[in-house]
Structure 1
């Protein structure tokens, strides 16, 4: 509880104070004024008072920290369930008793020391690392705090720190304690174990009707039928109101001409290239090819280029990466070789290996696609008109079915569905648009009442209505006899196996050797070496490792297996202390953590004693007033 009091540097405490005020900006108010109009203080310790605004600031700070921990904004009701109000009170009481002790001891802080602590805080320094008054005032203005208020609170924290340092500063941990920690952390163990499965207790005799009924009556809630709801829904998306038949031949023809490129495949050419070291080499190769002395491929071979090295790719004209190559390639006949081209990466020759002519799909072939696309475009344009028409019809008293019929929308009925999306037979109901959200809302809705539509993607809606409710009920044994019998067998098998494991454990505790027991059961003894405290073993699990460290050498324990309905009988056979274990072998932060813990314990004891020494009065009405702002 008191760790927040133990900052060693003025910087840390000032940051804590500023962080508290930043988060509580709304409490101070956009104009920088503190809460006023509440005459009572929240708590009193002797002559020390904690005002309403101080409680609210501390509360908002803790609420923000709790929200960060859970990754979501915590509501006031949730905070109350966490006991946040009382936690904040406890923190303020701890600070107030220290303040009262400081007052009685007549502790104070000189103005020079207060100025030094303020100047040391990096938040108030400029780019050259010096205290900057303008920066000081800017930071405080950002959190809505006056300089005098800051200095008063800074002085109060520094005075408290004098008491904290007197109690806990320089706290060290005895070497004997750290040596014991090193032995504890470094110990490893060897465990032997047997893995027992259901075959040891099978076959399991079926229960009598009376036994099964008695067991069912005790566990009836596990087999209860959940609540089911019947509902109607209407989906409104562009495809639900699109009418391709309404698109005329003239509209199709106009669209085709306007978007002709969409139905065309541009001419494509497969291009090969040879890049030369310089233009002179390229010109010489071009002359040899032109004269018939050599072919394109022969030139490539002479230069040590393979076929794969030559191929640039197959492109439409606008897709060729180099405009110079595009211009040359699309001027050649198939198989033709260009003159020297000044490409982006040097002088080169190109050859067109293949030409795929431009192709255009005829209008008759694409008319259906055009009608579908135009109908969807039109449907998207008028979708909100249809939405408004449906809502107007409902507002005028029409039922869901009547309103849907007026807009030519299809109504889908779901006879019965559980909150989990399954029907009474356990089958998944056909996909409901925005199914999870629709079901959640439907199970909160009143039957036969209009509900707000649920958004579907960026341009759709689902309207729904609950038409019937089948309440949850306990099933009769005859309805679920097979399920009940299967579950009884599973649990009975686990019970019998646990009993058998306990019997084996008792034999081992009585002195029987695990190898002897294993031989009788015709199974092997498993061994785990080098188990370390806190580990998570693949076979034993974290629980099994913890069990191995909870019993002495030759101790025996039974645990559940990681692999289904199995039992493990485990016995520790060896314990090894770490060699040369001492406090010096521990990481530095371990000793610091224990030292901090001991210091915190002393502070807790001090605060507890001071609380018994001073009269502490809490004003719950003022607390509620503070939380109402």
Structure 2
């Protein structure tokens, strides 16, 4: 998809990406030289900086999702680089449409948008130019660049709203999806157990077990084992040697007093209006019964957008007195603020909290001692590394330093002891028997060094040592096969006119369950089979090593007047509407591209990507 429509403008998507990444200390160099753009739609350019910034943001986002750094090579392999470029092309198409239509945004609206961004506010909740400049520098923008881009984004959002705003899915389609999703079924089920077999599973012969062992040798093979000797030192090992006196802890308590003595707060949502008349009209609607969520929706916002979180009286500024005058949830305002007249909804009172030094002492001591131990280890690290570089063995390190010696028979994925550290696992997986021990750092500030003594390759366990294990596995396989054969007989009996209960099985009837519903007694595959089976028809299911026979008793149509069904219908309608709006936007962008002309510079694209390896 070229554009991602979530009911908000392209502006919001870009601002969110910037605020998430830019304020996290994540910088981006500017690209310079003769190459200025990676492509264009008509006269609207896609700059190399915009492409680089979008790529970096996507890489950072994927890294946060997976917990692992994402490389440019991985981006290309998964096609994410093309998705990023496609999104920018779509935005450029909308920008070109806005240019051709003469759509632009004035300085007053631009300033309002900038002032509304909370990441540009100081501690008192007001727009702060130094904070603004810092945030832009972190993301590689100058003020002029950012404001020009924001102006373009706002113009594009106007085009986007005109093309895709107000699109609603046909009610018939929404109803059809809702009826399918909300349909329920009643059914009867029985599990085929070993006791239900007409002929018990025979005892295996030694030859059968040997054959099973040979045919399933991977199941009885020990994984590769790395026999490793290591020496390590963690802050926890040193904590008993770095005790902190009470005077130091009390000083730290006073320094962090805001953590331990928290003022009364309120959970607050805020809606800002262009003028007092609109704010007063909104308050009148609320007083007449309109919900705050609906007021937010009228502003093109969600309650998430309006949420200020838990705030103190001081943080609310001019609205502090009015909001804190409420002793129970309610709405106050309009209150004149720096952003404009606003309504404030107070959702909960958070009482003041105070933690005494005595109650906080253990926490303070633990943190301070761990911090001091980390610093001590940092001071020791150079000496420890010098010793290893000078030829000291790990055994000598264990005797002559604070490091502790240990051994481990490590297999990939182990998490016991030192293998609980990702840094150790990574080093253990990469080590060779020719490597010399080298000092490496652990995530908690500790250090370690390891030596790979021996690699034991994957080795089949001797048949005699696992004969009982083989017998259990053989029996389990034979039992499932026999139970499936018995289930087939039961299905035939039910198809011949018997009820499931009349076959002699222990049955359970579930009066009603929804599509995708959950049952403590049954795996999801059984529930899915119920919705694939016509009423009155039996079916067998094998799942998680167990065999079941089910009979669908009845289909319960969706109750379209039910509150839950109405909620589901609304969600489906919204999702379908967003999908249709997104399709319209993509069709429009494609049409603009076709009319204005799309140009891409593959060399420029490659040049940008090459700087992100």
Quote how far apart the aligned CAs of 1:491 are.
1.9
8 Å CA contact 2:535–2:555 kept in 1: the answer is: yes
- Name the CA distance, whole Å, in 2 between partners of 1:468 and 1:72: 29
> Which residue of structure 2 lines up, in the alignment, with residue 60 of structure 1?
56
3-state DSSP of counterpart to 1:90: helix
The worse-fitting range, judged by mean Cα deviation, of 45-54 and 437-446 is: 437-446
**1:397-416 equivalences in 2 (<5 Å):** 397=391, 399-401=393-395
**1:438-449 equivalences in 2 (<5 Å):** 441-447=427-433, 449=435
3-state DSSP of counterpart to 1:121: helix
> Which residue of structure 1 lines up, in the alignment, with residue 276 of structure 2?
none
1:115 aligned onto 2:97: no
1:523 aligned onto 2:516: no
- Name the CA distance, whole Å, in 1 between partners of 2:18 and 2:451: 52
1:226 aligned onto 2:247: no
1:537 aligned onto 2:519: yes
3-state DSSP of counterpart to 2:222: coil
Quote how far apart the aligned CAs of 1:208 are.
6.2
Structure-2 change in CA distance of 1:511 and 1:100 (3 Å): farther
- Name the CA distance, whole Å, in 2 between partners of 1:463 and 1:18: 40
> Which residue of structure 2 lines up, in the alignment, with residue 22 of structure 1?
22
Structure-2 change in CA distance of 1:514 and 1:447 (3 Å): same
- Name the CA distance, whole Å, in 2 between partners of 1:595 and 1:101: 23
Quote how far apart the aligned CAs of 1:215 are.
4.4
> Which residue of structure 1 lines up, in the alignment, with residue 473 of structure 2?
487
Structure-2 change in CA distance of 1:137 and 1:383 (3 Å): closer
Structure-2 change in CA distance of 1:536 and 1:585 (3 Å): closer
What do the CA deviations read for 1:136-177 (whole angstroms, capped 9, x no partner)? Answer: 786356313344433432343344334433432221233323
Return the match for 2:35 from 30, 39, 44. Answer: 39
Structure-2 change in CA distance of 1:616 and 1:499 (3 Å): farther
3-state DSSP of counterpart to 1:434: helix
**1:546-585 equivalences in 2 (<5 Å):** 546-560=528-542, 565-579=545-559, 581=561
What do the CA deviations read for 1:544-577 (whole angstroms, capped 9, x no partner)? Answer: 333322333224333346xx63222112111122
What do the CA deviations read for 1:495-553 (whole angstroms, capped 9, x no partner)? Answer: 33233324433443x343334xx433x22321001212232112224333333223332
- Name the CA distance, whole Å, in 1 between partners of 2:211 and 2:109: 75
Quote how far apart the aligned CAs of 1:466 are.
3.0
Return the match for 1:199 from 195, 201, 210. Answer: 195
Quote how far apart the aligned CAs of 1:485 are.
3.3
Quote how far apart the aligned CAs of 1:73 are.
5.7
The worse-fitting range, judged by mean Cα deviation, of 484-493 and 444-453 is: 444-453
Q: Which runs of 5+ in 2 are unaligned?
A: 239-375
- Name the CA distance, whole Å, in 2 between partners of 1:151 and 1:184: 48
What do the CA deviations read for 1:304-337 (whole angstroms, capped 9, x no partner)? Answer: xxxxxxxxxxxxxxxxxxxxxxxxxxxxxxxxxx
**1:119-268 equivalences in 2 (<5 Å):** 119-121=111-113, 123-124=115-116, 139=132, 142-144=135-137, 145-201=141-197, 203-206=200-203, 212=209, 215-233=212-230
3-state DSSP of counterpart to 1:591: helix
1:595 aligned onto 2:577: yes
- Name the CA distance, whole Å, in 2 between partners of 1:574 and 1:45: 57
- Name the CA distance, whole Å, in 1 between partners of 2:27 and 2:595: 33
Structure-2 change in CA distance of 1:549 and 1:412 (3 Å): closer
- Name the CA distance, whole Å, in 2 between partners of 1:97 and 1:224: 58
What do the CA deviations read for 1:202-222 (whole angstroms, capped 9, x no partner)? Answer: 632355666655544443222
Equivalences, count? 462
8 Å CA contact 1:233–1:411 kept in 2: the answer is: yes
TM-score (norm 1): 0.60
What do the CA deviations read for 1:569-618 (whole angstroms, capped 9, x no partner)? Answer: 11211112244549996234543333222222322344455566675454
Quote how far apart the aligned CAs of 1:389 are.
8.6
**1:353-368 equivalences in 2 (<5 Å):** none
Quote how far apart the aligned CAs of 1:65 are.
3.1
1:505 aligned onto 2:488: no
8 Å CA contact 1:536–1:542 kept in 2: the answer is: yes
1:434 aligned onto 2:418: yes
- Name the CA distance, whole Å, in 1 between partners of 2:183 and 2:236: 69
**1:75-94 equivalences in 2 (<5 Å):** 75-76=71-72, 79-80=75-76, 82-94=78-90
8 Å CA contact 2:177–2:572 kept in 1: the answer is: no
- Name the CA distance, whole Å, in 1 between partners of 2:43 and 2:554: 62
3-state DSSP of counterpart to 1:526: strand
Quote how far apart the aligned CAs of 1:55 are.
0.4
8 Å CA contact 2:213–2:463 kept in 1: the answer is: yes
Q: Which runs of 5+ in 1 are unaligned?
A: 242-381, 423-431
- Name the CA distance, whole Å, in 2 between partners of 1:512 and 1:187: 27
- Name the CA distance, whole Å, in 2 between partners of 1:493 and 1:176: 49
8 Å CA contact 1:193–1:526 kept in 2: the answer is: yes
8 Å CA contact 1:556–1:572 kept in 2: the answer is: yes
Quote how far apart the aligned CAs of 1:88 are.
0.5
What do the CA deviations read for 1:48-85 (whole angstroms, capped 9, x no partner)? Answer: 43221110121223233334444666455554555431
8 Å CA contact 1:196–1:501 kept in 2: the answer is: yes
> Which residue of structure 2 lines up, in the alignment, with residue 49 of structure 1?
45
Measured on the aligned residues, the alpha-carbon RMSD in Å equals 4.8
Structure-2 change in CA distance of 1:605 and 1:197 (3 Å): farther
8 Å CA contact 1:38–1:625 kept in 2: the answer is: no
Structure-2 change in CA distance of 1:38 and 1:24 (3 Å): farther
